[in-house]
Structure 1
Amino acid sequence: MTTEQVHFDLSKFNPGFPLDRFQQDAIESIDRGRSVLVSAPTGTGKTVVADFVVAKSLAESKRVIYTAPIKALSNQKYRDYTKAHDPKKIGLVTGDLVINHNAPMCIMTTEILRNMLLQDRDRLADLSHVIFDEIHFLADPERGTVWEEILIYLPKQVRILGLSATIPNDEDFAAWLGFVREERIDVVRETRRAVPLRIHLFNRQAGMVTRRGFEAQARRHRSSGAARAHRGRGRGRRRNDRTRHDQIISEIAPDLLPCLYFVFFRRLTETFARQLVDEIDRPFLSPEERERTESILETRCSGWHEDLLRDRELYVNGVAYHHAGLNVMLKALVEELYEERLIKVLYCTSTFALGINMPVKTVVFDGIQKFNGQRMQPLTVQQFMQKAGRAGRRGMDEVGHVVVSQEFCDFEQHKGSFDRYERGKHESVHSTFNLSFNSIVNLLNAYEMMEIQDIVNKSYRNFHHRRVLDGIGEQIEEVRGSIAKLNGGMSAESIDEEDDIDDTPQLRKRETAILGRIQERIHGRREWLQTSPRWQAINEAMECPESLLRLIAEELAETPKHRAARVRRLRRNIKSDCAELRTIREAHHHHLHGGHPADSSEGRTAKLEKRLATLQRKRRREERRLYQGLFEKVHFLQEIEYLGPGNELLSGGEMLRHIHIEEVFVTEMVLADVFDGLDDAALFGLLASVCSDFPRRAALRTRAPNQLRDLIRWVGKIRRSYVVTEAERLNGVRSSFSPEILCLARLWAEGKTLMEIMLLVDSTSDISGDLVSAFRRAKDLAKQLRDVYHAEPAMQTQLSRILRQVSRDEVEVLD
């Protein structure tokens, strides 16, 4: 039977509960063959729409791809869909794990799909739909470009489903999607949650109270003098003055359990879980639940190393912890117990918010500040709601409870954040488009430069930038029209009279365009501006450019010299915008209230011609900005001789085409013959060392072996070379090289167990999951190098042998 003869009957789709209106609307649009963007709060059931796409595609014998931002979510969706459908029809491709890759329904990370579109488009010839889970990740500074690339590269006949948390600019985002996809995108929006959230603040003096109640108590606390005494103790303040996690659990247990307790330091998830079990006077599990837990532990943990069973007492009491560094076997066990509702208190980090889609009654935050790589920063509304949205079980709870641990002395600092969380106004999605070197050489291998410029022009960033250019173009035409009138004999005074009638709406339009441009400039640099203590004030001063300029000047004064150039450039651009805005506002005032007598025609013509020249220079400058990043990178690749003068791929460029991890760094190692002559274990160790950073709070208990020290110095020299550091600058991402991981991965390739390797590590938290992640990425890199060494059978054989040796135990577990 042909695919045209089969149509999935909408009435046969039964998720097991009545559909909400927004779910029905989205499903009906998809059934009509439309692409759809669904914008709805976390926990409202967006996944049901994706389930319909999968069921429809499989029933109609069409191919569908489900993309997720992280591997853990990809693995979870694979488990879900293999339970719901014939496992033979479901595949998983995440770089390190490949299962049934030719299946009609395939789950993969976005990077894998982008690479297929660049290098193996034929495999996607019969693709019907692509589902983008968490499509708002397009705004992620490090990985967002991949989402944009996929949306631009996908064949036009492919329909898309974008699932997003609430975004205020969904119509604008859909307009860009429609422009790129050359089709109308249906926007389905849901603003209400099926289970409303109630936010409480907690400390040991106030108990669990509403925001208003807490604010009143904070005022009384300040006026009583207790706050001054509290601050006076300074660094000598006793730790037990602070609110403890077990006090919050005692407050909410048992009526508001189960709960997710979000902590932003891995070691604290482990510490808190063990402390809680030591403190509680009664288990959180009933005798029947405890018996079920014991049965699962006996079945799953048979033959496990004793170190993996050290937290058995936590599990039988209904307590656990979860973070990215956790041993993959334990991670899978904790997730199974959680899905079986046998974990009543789970201490976890942010990664869990994107993992298992199972709500709880209560979500607790140990605080609302998180380290962003440079400093502690309040959670954005998006980050807060991604976690808080897990509270409230549909059909079981009337309300979902969110509890935030908050001290009176910190409340003034965080009031603005709580205001934003309660208003629930999410941050807009903005482009972070920045083509990688790998993407550029693959595009140059397939397209002419003009075609690549057209691809870059379709980015979400340039979609907005084109509006700026359109505004400048309109101004140029207005000035040209005025000059033509003067040259045609019309007096300057009569032109002013005409302008009084026609120009006021145009001036307002230009004013709006400039304010929009200023907002775009700020949001385009929010990655580093968000680290500033002035970020909130900067964000709120967007409509008042003069105040904004003052804030940027203050920021410049406190910025280190090596980072001042970008702040200075931003200040210069906004200063230019302010000058233009002043001119427009003065003209607007003149139109409304009158002004000085009109200039002579000759004087007015000279002014207009000067204005025209300024606008034309500005347009040329802004047009260069459209492709500036692309041209800079192409010039760099020519400079280091990866590309020839006509942009043809030279040997370095051909190698770079296959390398997606530490692109230029690894290519430089290949060109320097670093991999030649290494034994299997050292080669795998070296690959792993550039795939991940060693955790900051961990250290090796032993030094690197003598035979590796020369290799480490050699690779370190390449890492510090001009080519690699300039590539880092242009990409905006620092390259990884971890000699510690090199030593540990070498042992894995030699056959040592993960527990044996962990004996060589000093760490305040479990980092075995980090090591497994590095080993898996090293496998992916080894596969990429096999393509690089396609003409060298000996190296290909060695890499294939390494892949067999390291593909075992935890590295092969589907976590």
Structure 2
Amino acid sequence: MLTVELMAKAGGKPSATEVVFSIQDHLPALYFAFGRGKTELLAEEISREWDFLLPGEKEKVAEIIREAEVQNTGLFGHRRHNLKQILIQGIGYHHAGMSPALKDLVERLYESRLIYVLFCTETFAVGVNFPAASTVFDSCRKWDGREFRGLLNREFYQMAGRAGRRGFDPIGHVFVRIDDRFPEQTGFYREDEVEPVRGRLAISPNTVLSLLYWKTDEEINRFLEQNLAAYQNNRESRRLKGELEALEGKNAELGNCFCENIYQPSCFLLRAKLKNELRSLSRRRKRGRPGSRERREEIRAILKVAPKKCQHHLCVDARKKQDLYTEKRTRLSRRLKVLDRHSRDFEMEFNNMWDLLEALDYVDGRELLPRGLFALYLHVQEILVTELIFNGYIRDRAPQEVVAILSGVDYIPGREEYVEPGLIKLDHVEELRKYLLKKGVPENFCVWSHLPGPLSSAWYDGAAFEELMARSSLQEGDIFSMLRRTIDLLRQIERAAGEDVELRRQMEHIRHRLDRDEVAIMGI
């Protein structure tokens, strides 16, 4: 069971320190903030006034930290020097920018009940089963990559649901930090309105190549028609059609409320409509319009007919309901058309991608050509990587250049990410990318960036992890993820190389050079 409380302060928001003071009887708490830097700032803010651990607990935390540092040299580095101290105070933070080793340390301390307030981003609520006595929302708005927006019901309850520990808390407490200057933020969440999870089949080059290579025409059609998204669309279409039929029935029943004189000169409904029109035409700005005077005279003539004496309020109520049903029917019909169009999208996307692969010489009908057989074993940016191989951008190149190129595959830089430029020029890769875009390759299947190249090539040359961090604004977790993705791509190319022993050995050599030290310790 959850109980949600709003926390406000006259003239603005309460500080994190004030929030913790108010909820100190409901700890440990997960304090969700939407920004990596915000979690760190809030943790440091309350560490200046709060210390939750007893001397024995501090010794236990210090011992766990020492063990972690023995296993992971340079665990905290120069960017996390404050984290060690605040952990010893029973406070921590957790976000995707931290190294896996550091995140694992924080999680172990929290699981051991040695962290009383953990500031974290929403990723902590996904796939990690660490409940708390309470959860706190620093805000109910977040940046989704395009704009700031309010949290969805699904997002709110994914995080709020962490409140309440089985066997400890009969009630899970959820606190929301509200700025009283913006009362609209209190338009709140309902568990019975949680948005459904929607299926979305992504028709990638690998999807098309795999289906053509492994499946018959009948199996391909069944795959396109019976995936989760199509199933959900068909189920919703049946529901909407049922609602439309019910509305038609109700509309027909309302028709029995009207007499044979409906919309005749004596009918109240017609007379009310004409009176409104007459008032509109009598306004100064419409009186002089062509045809206005004639229409007014026509209406007055109709209104001279004696009105019928009847219970016209029944007709008025019936007409209002019919208007509501008509409006709802229009919305349902529009949604039904969208679903019908989407149900055909999968087949259209499949055929469009098939045509593109044929134009690029990946397939000839259903037969996979050499490029297609290579891309069959790739699962990220298949066309771009295949063209890098087949156009000579990888083979027989210096390994530093190869790793700089491959680390940029599928990499989307953050808004303020910076890396010191390296000596390797990669303009030719950008030219290839532009060429593929002109050939019709969709932008999302041609993603590449030069930005991580200097870091990955330096790592290949033996640079220390701290040196990579010093040469960029990237956090350690971002650098780790970039290198692991590059290692995984190298594995994919090894598999795709097949009997091309030279290419396979080239990729294997680079992969072994990258898979070392901090990256190898936390590797898969």
Q: Give the shorter-chain TM-score range.
A: 0.7 to 0.9
How do 1:237-386 and structure 2 match up within 5 A? Answer: 241-253=12-24, 255-278=25-48, 280=49, 282-302=50-70, 304-305=73-74, 306-307=77-78, 309-386=81-158
What is aligned with 2:267? none
**Matching residue's letter, 2:473:** D
2:473 partner SS: strand
2:220 partner SS: helix
Supply the distance in 2 between the matched residues of 1:322 and 1:288 (Cα, whole angstroms).
Answer: 24
Of 186, 203, 228, the residue aligned with 1:460 is: 228
Post-superposition CA distance 1:524-560 (Å, at most 9, x none): xxxxxxxxxxxxxxxxx999458859xxxxxxxxxxx
Conserved? CA contact 1:665–1:724, under 8 Å? no
Supply the distance in 2 between the matched residues of 1:689 and 1:371 (Cα, whole angstroms).
Answer: 24
Of 411, 424, 431, the residue aligned with 1:717 is: 431
User: Closer, same or farther in 2 for the Cα pair 1:472/1:648, shift >3 Å?
Assistant: farther
What is aligned with 2:520? 812
User: Closer, same or farther in 2 for the Cα pair 1:715/1:259, shift >3 Å?
Assistant: same
**Contiguous gaps of at least 5 residues in structure 2:** 253-323
Conserved? CA contact 2:251–2:325, under 8 Å? no
Of 774, 783, 790, the residue aligned with 2:482 is: 774
Conserved? CA contact 2:30–2:117, under 8 Å? yes
Which stretch has the larger CA shift, 661-670 or 381-390?
Answer: 661-670
Supply the distance in 2 between the matched residues of 1:339 and 1:725 (Cα, whole angstroms).
Answer: 53
> Deviation at 1:373?
1.3
1:720 partner SS: helix
**Contiguous gaps of at least 5 residues in structure 1:** 1-195, 206-229, 231-240, 475-502, 512-540, 550-572, 579-617
How do 1:333-732 and structure 2 match up within 5 A? Answer: 333-412=105-184, 414-416=185-187, 418=188, 421-466=189-234, 508=249, 544-545=327-328, 574=334, 624-625=344-345, 627-644=347-364, 646-700=365-419, 702-705=420-423, 708-709=424-425, 712-723=426-437, 726-728=440-442
Conserved? CA contact 1:285–1:342, under 8 Å? yes
1:261 partner SS: strand
> Deviation at 1:319?
1.0
Instruction: Find the structure with the greater CA-based Rg.
Output: 2
User: Closer, same or farther in 2 for the Cα pair 1:294/1:637, shift >3 Å?
Assistant: same
Residues 1:758 and 2:503 are matched in the alignment: no
Post-superposition CA distance 1:431-459 (Å, at most 9, x none): 21222210210110012233201111111
Conserved? CA contact 2:13–2:178, under 8 Å? no
**How does the TM-score come out when normalised to structure 1?**
0.51
Paired positions, count: 447
Conserved? CA contact 1:328–1:813, under 8 Å? no
**Matching residue's letter, 1:327:** S
Post-superposition CA distance 1:645-699 (Å, at most 9, x none): x221112211210110112221222222211222223222222111433332331
Supply the distance in 1 between the matched residues of 2:239 and 2:67 (Cα, whole angstroms).
Answer: 67
Supply the distance in 2 between the matched residues of 1:367 and 1:471 (Cα, whole angstroms).
Answer: 36
- Runs of 4+ in structure 1 off by over 3 angstroms are 464-474, 503-511, 541-549, 575-578, 621-626, 722-727, 733-736
Post-superposition CA distance 1:455-486 (Å, at most 9, x none): 11111232355568989999xxxxxxxxxxxx
**Matching residue's letter, 1:354:** V
What is aligned with 2:259? none
1:200 partner SS: strand
User: Closer, same or farther in 2 for the Cα pair 1:653/1:723, shift >3 Å?
Assistant: farther
Supply the distance in 2 between the matched residues of 1:504 and 1:458 (Cα, whole angstroms).
Answer: 26
Post-superposition CA distance 1:582-607 (Å, at most 9, x none): xxxxxxxxxxxxxxxxxxxxxxxxxx
How do 1:133-144 and structure 2 match up within 5 A? Answer: none
Supply the distance in 1 between the matched residues of 2:403 and 2:325 (Cα, whole angstroms).
Answer: 50
> Deviation at 1:318?
0.8
Larger RCO (CA under 8 A, 6+ residues apart) = 2
Percent of residue pairs identical: 27
Supply the distance in 1 between the matched residues of 2:236 and 2:69 (Cα, whole angstroms).
Answer: 61
User: Closer, same or farther in 2 for the Cα pair 1:724/1:201, shift >3 Å?
Assistant: farther
What is aligned with 1:743? 454
User: Closer, same or farther in 2 for the Cα pair 1:542/1:293, shift >3 Å?
Assistant: farther
What is aligned with 1:204? 9
**Matching residue's letter, 1:719:** R
**How does the TM-score come out when normalised to structure 2?**
0.77
1:678 partner SS: coil
